[in-house]
Amino acid sequence: MFNLSHPKLVKLAEAEGYAEVADFLEDHAVGSIVPAICVASDCDHTADLEPDQRAGFCEACGRASMKSGLVISGMI
């Protein structure tokens, strides 16, 4: 089940210049490096990481809370 309305996913798509989460996912579904966002509640840091990243290091808050957009959406 895809989750295209996750608040962090919406924020990530917006940060990448997309009005629609679906367009964002379509463009990055087959990438080797994809946009990721920190899922900590007080941090919205974004970076380009591996598509299957679930616990990447966040350079902004120092936690292992970076998730790729594909992981957040449920595509991976």
Chain contacts with Zn ion (rule: CB under 5 A)? 38, 40, 43, 45, 58, 60-61
Is residue 4 exposed (0-12), middle (13-18) or buried (19+ Cβ within 10 Å)? Answer: middle
Closer residue to Zn ion, CB minimum distance, 29 or 40: 40
| 32 vs 42: CA distance, rounded Å | 28
Cβ 74 to Zn ion shortest distance, Å: 21
Closer residue to Zn ion, CB minimum distance, 19 or 41: 41
| 62 vs 3: CA distance, rounded Å | 26
Cβ 58 to Zn ion shortest distance, Å: 3
